[in-house]
Amino acid sequence: MNILDFYQTPNLREGLRPGDIMRTRPVFTPQLDGAADAWQIVYVSSNSRSQLIAASAIVLIPDTAPEPGKTAILLYCPPFHGLGGACAPSQLLATGSEPDTAPIEAALERGWAVAIADGHGLGIGPGPHTFLAARTGARLVLDLARAVYRGANLELPVAPVVVWGYADGGRVAAATGELQPWYAPEVDLRGVAAGAVASDLAAVAPAISQGSTAGLGLAALIGLARAYDQLPLRHVLTETGGIAAAEAQNLTGAQLLQQFSHPLAHWCRRPDPWNDPWWRRVLALETLAHVTPATPLHLYHGELDALVPVHAGRRTLIAYRQRGTTVSWREYDADHRSTAQQATHHVLARLTDHITSRPATSPLHIETEDEHTSRP
């Protein structure tokens, strides 16, 4: 089966349920020395309205045997790659062009299987990608865990699950921890790590809508409108903005930043589109830390992060603490990109501790990491 046929949207016949696998095929991942095998899969998930959708992903089998008692399945949530085009991790890893391989390789070296969802609107299914819609992304991640459990041909044992993401992927990871108890209680989720997370989109959306990251503001409008399709973009965009959005929904992240350098207001009917009543409602729905995850959460952030300011991460920490979440925190004297690189070892150590120290159903206690914490 060629790539076009494999990623063709399948018919969702009656009787399917989230997590059912519809197609698999082995692929080679030239960038990953630690992967013994890799499988692209198409599976069933659901969207923000609980309607069944088809989703795609890649599952990586480690070449290294894990230490006794420390085997795991890592659900990895990549940072934003783009709204369309060549952005799906399952395709990028197969072509050797994935930009975010270091965390994946590090997890494989521990003997962990790694499963990576492409995200709603990437790989399979109509785009654009639902950028910043964390709860939609979390459904796809949890259904990927179900698919790994059910995929007998993947030759993976049922193992504890951990979730890890950064930036937009960090929001998806945190939302996965919040949704798991009611959406996928059968998944043995032991811990979540999320870096550069802003729990309140209303606090960061205006900041990414101007300056060098203005293209992300347009991408945010497009992605959230795709997730909440009762919100027509024409409600906030000018005619020129509508043309720009139609072009942007097929672009990678780098192309968005390069081609859409105007402030978001340039494409909109009002100076601050995020202050529209409909959009305020969407931003409120996408706020994290409204519920208490049943599993431990590790948050981390760079003090010099100019894309997602550290004060946004500290507010996320406080919001989770106020909910009684088991949460740890670490700050790095680094910018956005450098923090992602520096945190890899610490994150894997923290997730390993979550795997071995307690099951997901153990009582919650507030936990801090004072020796590594710059107190907010």
How far is residue 219's CA from residue 85's CA, in Å, rounded to a whole number?
14
Mean pLDDT of 37-60: 93
Choosing from 265, 285, 305, the residue where a domain stops is: 285
Same domain, 224 and 366: no
For residue 43, pLDDT over 90 is answered with: yes
Mean pLDDT of 307-324: 95
Q: What is the pLDDT of residue 358?
A: 62
pLDDT range class, residue 11, cuts 50, 70, 90: confident
For residue 369, pLDDT over 80 is answered with: no
Q: What is the pLDDT of residue 231?
A: 76
Mean pLDDT of 165-183: 97
pLDDT range class, residue 372, cuts 50, 70, 90: very low
pTM of the complete model: 0.92
User: Per DSSP, what are the bridge partners of residue 161?
Assistant: 73, 189
Instruction: Write down how long the chain is.
Output: 376
The rounded mean pLDDT for the chain is: 89
Query: pLDDT by residue (tens digit) across 185-211?
Result: 999 999 999 999 999 988 888 888 988
Mean pLDDT of 67-72: 85
Q: What is the pLDDT of residue 374?
A: 36
pLDDT range class, residue 340, cuts 50, 70, 90: very high
Q: What is the pLDDT of residue 275?
A: 87
Q: What is the pLDDT of residue 152?
A: 67
Same domain, 16 and 99: yes
Same domain, 8 and 59: yes
How far is residue 54's CA from residue 126's CA, in Å, rounded to a whole number?
10
Q: 85: alpha, beta or left, given left = phi > 0 and alpha = psi -120 to 50?
A: left
Q: What is the pLDDT of residue 234?
A: 79
Instruction: Name the burial class of residue 1, with classes exposed (0-12), middle (13-18) and buried (19+) by CB atoms within 10 angstroms of its CB.
Output: exposed
Q: How many CB atoms lie within 10 A of CB 274?
A: 20
Question: In this predicted model, which residue has the larger pLDDT, 359 or 229?
Answer: 229
Same domain, 82 and 133: yes
Query: pLDDT by residue (tens digit) across 261-302?
Result: 999 999 999 888 888 888 888 899 999 998 999 999 999 999
pLDDT range class, residue 9, cuts 50, 70, 90: confident
Inter-residue contact 253 to 92 (CB < 8 Å):
no
Same domain, 51 and 63: yes
Mean pLDDT of 169-180: 97
Q: What total of structural domains would you count in the chain?
A: 2
Instruction: Show the domain range for 333.
Output: 3-198+292-372
CA angle 152, 158, 160 (to 5 degrees): 150
Q: What is the pLDDT of residue 375?
A: 35
Mean pLDDT of 232-261: 92
Choosing from 285, 314, 344, the residue where a domain stops is: 285
Inter-residue contact 192 to 173 (CB < 8 Å):
yes
- Percent of residues, the chain, with pLDDT higher than 90: 73
Same domain, 274 and 126: no
Q: Tell me which residue has tokens 């890649």.
A: 58
Same domain, 312 and 328: yes
For residue 36, pLDDT over 80 is answered with: yes
Same domain, 86 and 182: yes
Mean pLDDT of 294-314: 95
Same domain, 185 and 62: yes
Q: Domain containing 153 — which CATH number?
A: 3.40.50.1820
How far is residue 35's CA from residue 59's CA, in Å, rounded to a whole number?
10
Choosing from 223, 257, 285, the residue where a domain stops is: 285
For residue 371, pLDDT over 50 is answered with: no
Mean pLDDT of 83-103: 93
Same domain, 193 and 209: no
pLDDT range class, residue 81, cuts 50, 70, 90: very high
- Sheet architecture: strand order including 113-117: 21-26, 35-46, 52-62, 113-117, 73-77, 161-166, 189-195, 297-302, 327-332
Q: What is the pLDDT of residue 25?
A: 94
Same domain, 220 and 176: no
Q: 36: alpha, beta or left, given left = phi > 0 and alpha = psi -120 to 50?
A: alpha
Question: In this predicted model, which residue has the larger pLDDT, 159 or 163?
Answer: 163
Q: What is the pLDDT of residue 363?
A: 35
Same domain, 172 and 246: no
For residue 32, pLDDT over 90 is answered with: yes
Choose the weakest-confidence range: 1-5, 222-226, 307-311.
1-5
Mean pLDDT of 133-144: 96
Angle at which helices 344-357 and 102-109 pack, to 10 degrees?
40
Q: What is the pLDDT of residue 127?
A: 85
Q: What is the pLDDT of residue 1?
A: 65
Q: Domain containing 229 — which CATH number?
A: 1.10.260
